[in-house]
Structure 1
């Protein structure tokens, strides 16, 4: 089950109960809540086409698969759920034990690390050029995804959707403009790239 949906049975049932507790109506038109959630997670996990997913789930209609996918996507990206699970730490939260044990003076105020990646996407022909990254991904259309994690590997900030040709520093500035990476004064994130700078990010010097 984990290979297909990315979760085990207990995690799957917990997600279903959680989403229904938030008022998400997973089941519809003769499709159970479990089947609807499974189709949504399957598509997100595998990237399969709507037609292939429909066949994998017993010849479901294409409309049913599409509706299930969008129900899951819109629920997981809703402001209520995102704000509950992905949040910047407050200034009142103490430094993580790993920071205190490793070097409390050097990394005091550090709340995690920031990095970016490219996710492949399909876009209309007329806009393909702006989605092609100029750095090692020739002819591949992508979007930029910037994310920050704390020292427990929990996401604390995410910014996605910027065209693949955009430079990292521009993507970060766009992310900051949305408020997604608004760190309290005195707190910062680590980043490996010296091209991304500002009070938000500290780039350790290579030695």
Structure 2
């Protein structure tokens, strides 16, 4: 009998390690905790998915995990603690969903202080401390709870999961939670299946927009 593939939980810094422990504390769930020094080896075991929890924005580390997930042929889930928010999702690299570069591009696209954000990202990427902004104990529980909403559907839920292409954001001061859809960039060769010719086809982006419109129609309530 073959052993089912495990979800690998990668924690960076105190916050990330706490979230990984919370998500991996139930022995009945097929989840394995791996440190940063173990993630390459763990990603090479054929995991069902990778989960990265880190206590600050970490684009360079996210790109490393994104490359590992791509090589392993599995999706991965980011859990990031920022100065005012905890952000979880979306599933990256899953069928119909965005890759990390698309997600990162969309974040900057809707950031009215993107120049400052990029400067901060470049600064913190040079740090070895993955808890640069600090966190409170309940922030770890909040992050784990949001992540469980994604994991309970299973990393293979794909487009059938209501959270498949969403990022959940919780304000650390109030706990208020919001959800936002992430649509792949039409210029992304990886997400659109484009050829190297530089003339991308856009079926996945069109499908993603169509799904978003259908959801908006279903959620619309007249005042």
Q: TM-score, normalised by structure 2?
A: 0.28
- Point out which structure has higher relative CO (alpha carbons under 8 A, 6+ apart): 2
Considering only CA atoms, is the larger Rg found in Structure 1 or Structure 2? Answer: 1
